[in-house]
Amino acid sequence: MAFKSIKILAILFFLLLASTISQATVFDVKTYGAKPNGDITQALAKAWKDACAAQSPSKLVIPSGTYNLIEAKLQGPCKAPIEVQIQGTLRAPAVVTKASDSWVTIERLDRFTLNGGIFDGQGKNSYGKHCAVQEYCGKLPMNIRYNFVTNSIIRGITSLDSKQFHMNVLGCTNVTFDHVTITAPENSLNTDGIHIGRSTGINITNTNIKTGDDCISLGDGSKQITVVKTTCGPGHGISVGSLGKYPNEEPVEGVFIRNCTLTNTQNGVRIKTWPDSHFGTASDMHFKDIIMNNVGNPILIDQEYCPWNRCKLSVPSKVKLSKVSFKNIRGTSSTPVAVKLVCSGGPGGVPCQNIEIGDVNLAYTGPLGPVTSVCKHIKPILSGKQFPSACAISS
Cβ contacts of 22 within 8 Å, gap of 6 or more: none
Q: Are 292 and 332 in contact (CB under 8 A)?
A: yes
Spatial distance between the Cα atoms of 149 and 172, rounded to a whole number of angstroms:
5
CA distances from 277 to 17, 343, 354, 365 (A): 42, 13, 21, 37
Spatial distance between the Cα atoms of 16 and 33, rounded to a whole number of angstroms:
33
Task: Give the burial class of 306: count Cβ atoms within 10 A of its Cβ; 0-12 exposed, 13-18 middle, 19 or more buried.
Answer: middle
Spatial distance between the Cα atoms of 51 and 7, rounded to a whole number of angstroms:
30
Helix, strand or coil, per DSSP, at residue 106: strand
Q: Are 284 and 325 in contact (CB under 8 A)?
A: no
Residue of 236, 278, 286, 377 with catalytic role: 236
SS3 of 308-371:
CCCCCCCCCCCEEEEEEEEEEEEEEECCCEEEEEECCCCCCCCCCEEEEEEEEEEECCCCCCCC
Q: What angle do CA 257, 262, 263 make, to 5 degrees?
A: 175
Half-sphere exposure of 40 (CA within 13 A, CB side): 30
Q: Does residue 377 have an active-site annotation?
A: no
Active site residues: 236
